Structure 1
């Protein structure tokens, strides 16, 4: 890298829910502040909004996408959590206002809008870009090679030397900057789409190589899956799940695929297409409870996905600080108000927490490290704020070994520092 480069390294945490960028110069990493409707912020929502203005299709990203959607929801197409389809071979393209977009097309649009809000900080000045990637991608039977191909097409648009580093390793590098002693740490990164774990040996300050990765594991379960559990228990019974329909002289259970898509933020908006809506309308005419299917169609047609997401997010955040919370959502013929207890929520997510704990076991086994040998557990990512997950680690490692902080920005901060290392190949995934 040229010594006079104004930005040495760009660290980019492209997240399922939020994205963050940081730039490393002279051994320090600083977050990139991005303009938003409410003022500059380092955290940029990983969302896109499309709408027609009479001349063509307009596109916005991040908090600007949310603002455009809220201004005219019926005439917008709002996409969120689209990172979740990166490794899905079943996803080919999204049709929006009769235009087709591949994953990399959506990604390039997102990066372009993010760059436009960076006040020039992301305008191709960094000769090296370090992008975070999950240890295991989200989705059923995720195809890591396909995700890499799509990432290359997306991030190649930055016109720089691109490296990929496991997201929890970025967080480990960030956390190492806080430590003034040697330690073996477990980083637990809980995002929107995946939960990722890395065991890292951190040497004392001044060592030629401060951090050494020992082992990793991950699982495609995180905040979005917990959201789906809330929807499944509170919303789906009113949309026909578990119901039946008539086929000639038989009564059959309604296929579960529609409900699985509806409860997945990355796929809900994509249900607004002619084929799916035609199938749902046909199902409505034969359903034993046609009004329930009609409500599902209305939520999709009226583009209420973000409002539903917001209602779910509010109750989930409330349950992180209180034992009870009220879920409220109305629209498209639905009116739901329900009191949710933390105990009930934890029962809903229990199978997911079990799989997360199994991934922790795999990370320790891959590193050949016993739990007792872990000096610190660094919890990061927005989903790490859920009490059940925190309890999982305090129960296993003890409260004194748990470290938290910078839940949304530590990965990008650390990725930029990783990129400043001479031997970046040792960190690349």
Structure 2
């Protein structure tokens, strides 16, 4: 397990059966959404609400005010500010995806250099601002995936940066818990008998799995048996839709000529970056846009590359991603859905069959299934020894993902719930001081 998480987690945790005197806070800082929860002194747990709801989008927006001074906003207000003037603002998404990437040191925004920790810290300050009273004197546990998003996962670096970001937000002392284990603690609240549970937590950037043994006691005991994770999840599914449906209409798979010579393929790297939320902002670099425009001059379909330039320059990526996320959600309930998107003179209306979508995401499904098997192997637990399987996170609603578990464990053992709040609530339960 990366970052020493396995060594720290393979132990039994005794949970108090008597009320504790002060609240405990769980903070689930996610790739796409973030949630804050509190375990009360009476043992109950509740998600803390912002004016816009329980779930707070993990985004930042920067722009210059009328006086020329830098301004910023987080969460729903960031999205509102961005949509108000996309050309004059910069939207920062998927910040969590960079935690394990040592190559990311800083970025410049409106003339100022920002480290990753300072960006996330700025977001966290806004996320936590309504709950400063609850945080005062509370035990705080924050979540981390089993495996962070990166080609070479550096869990130690990622957790160090995560702690640094919380310190920048005013929380210098926090405990760190594995996100699937936290979801397991929340699930265990409803167990009245001993059970071995496989917990699957699907976020925007990672899919994480924990095998846990729960004993209701007294005393109540939770033993982590094994963990595994993979740096793919909902964002990767979005990527496949963009790659197969949108990018071909923007020039992917077409050619261009150099000085009247043979046709060469339009660089596929452009479309790889375009289809990934956390890389799209980098495509606004003047050199990249100049390169695309130069290729468009001799391309067999220049209008497609001009549309690509337009979508990048006019910051239409967020609206596109929102449309893609919508069609992905619709495919969880319907056999087919329509991707409908328009910006300027670019218009796309495409029907997508669920069977096609499942074929596109087959590589990701294979890796997720392998991570499930790895968690069982790490725990030394056979599938028939698992009493319950608990699925949480938005991607758990995708039928092909759910089948990974029903095929292995049977429908009767697979449960789901609290898709967006169970990790935060479980982290709050993990933060409860022992009596």
TM-score of the pair, normalised by structure 1: 0.91
In the alignment, which of 296, 309, 317 is matched to residue 284 of structure 1? 296
Give the stretch that moved more between structures: 387-396 or 190-199.
387-396
* C-alpha spacing 1:190/1:53, structure 2 compared with 1 (3 Å): same
1:224-248 residue CA offsets vs partner (Å, 9 max, x unmatched): 0000000001110012212233345
* C-alpha spacing 1:33/1:188, structure 2 compared with 1 (3 Å): same
Partner of 1:235, secondary structure, is: helix
Give the stretch that moved more between structures: 276-285 or 60-69.
276-285
2:12 matched residue in structure 1: none
Cα offset, 1:396, TM superposition: 1.2
State whether structure 2 residue 244 is matched by structure 1 residue 233.
Answer: yes
State whether structure 2 residue 156 is matched by structure 1 residue 145.
Answer: yes
State whether structure 2 residue 75 is matched by structure 1 residue 65.
Answer: no
Given that 2:102 and 2:157 are in contact with CA atoms closer than 8 Å, whether structure 1 keeps it comes out as yes
In the alignment, which of 239, 244, 258 is matched to residue 255 of structure 2? 244
> Separation in 2 of the partners of 1:101 and 1:245?
38
> Separation in 2 of the partners of 1:105 and 1:338?
40
> Separation in 2 of the partners of 1:129 and 1:250?
61
**What runs of 5+ residues in structure 2 fail to find an aligned partner?**
1-19
Given that 2:144 and 2:159 are in contact with CA atoms closer than 8 Å, whether structure 1 keeps it comes out as no
Given that 1:95 and 1:273 are in contact with CA atoms closer than 8 Å, whether structure 2 keeps it comes out as no
> Separation in 2 of the partners of 1:257 and 1:422?
52
> Separation in 2 of the partners of 1:104 and 1:12?
16
Question: Which runs of structure 2 are paired with 1:208-223 in the superposition (5 Å)?
Answer: 208=220, 210-223=221-234
> Separation in 2 of the partners of 1:170 and 1:72?
39
* C-alpha spacing 1:333/1:97, structure 2 compared with 1 (3 Å): farther
> Separation in 2 of the partners of 1:6 and 1:120?
18
Give the stretch that moved more between structures: 50-59 or 103-112.
50-59
> Separation in 2 of the partners of 1:105 and 1:275?
27
Given that 1:17 and 1:45 are in contact with CA atoms closer than 8 Å, whether structure 2 keeps it comes out as yes
> Separation in 1 of the partners of 2:166 and 2:59?
17
State whether structure 2 residue 46 is matched by structure 1 residue 30.
Answer: yes
**What runs of 5+ residues in structure 1 fail to find an aligned partner?**
424-429
Partner of 1:217, secondary structure, is: strand
In the alignment, which of 350, 357, 360 is matched to residue 372 of structure 2? 360
Partner of 1:408, secondary structure, is: coil
> Separation in 2 of the partners of 1:205 and 1:411?
23
> Separation in 2 of the partners of 1:54 and 1:273?
25
1:219-275 residue CA offsets vs partner (Å, 9 max, x unmatched): 011000000000001110012212233345454323322211111111112322333
Aligned pairs, number? 412
Cα offset, 1:196, TM superposition: 0.3
> Separation in 2 of the partners of 1:119 and 1:144?
29
1:106 matched residue in structure 2: 119
* C-alpha spacing 1:285/1:302, structure 2 compared with 1 (3 Å): same
In the alignment, which of 368, 381, 390 is matched to residue 402 of structure 2? 390
TM-score of the pair, normalised by structure 2: 0.90
1:314-348 residue CA offsets vs partner (Å, 9 max, x unmatched): 11111111111111111143211011111111111
2:5 matched residue in structure 1: none
Cα offset, 1:23, TM superposition: 1.8
1:394-429 residue CA offsets vs partner (Å, 9 max, x unmatched): 121111111111110000001011111549xxxxxx
Given that 2:256 and 2:295 are in contact with CA atoms closer than 8 Å, whether structure 1 keeps it comes out as yes
2:362 matched residue in structure 1: 350
Partner of 2:218, secondary structure, is: coil
RMSD of aligned Cα (Å): 2.0
* C-alpha spacing 1:184/1:421, structure 2 compared with 1 (3 Å): farther
1:81 matched residue in structure 2: 94
1:11 matched residue in structure 2: 26
Partner of 1:42, secondary structure, is: coil
Given that 2:139 and 2:433 are in contact with CA atoms closer than 8 Å, whether structure 1 keeps it comes out as no
Partner of 2:174, secondary structure, is: strand
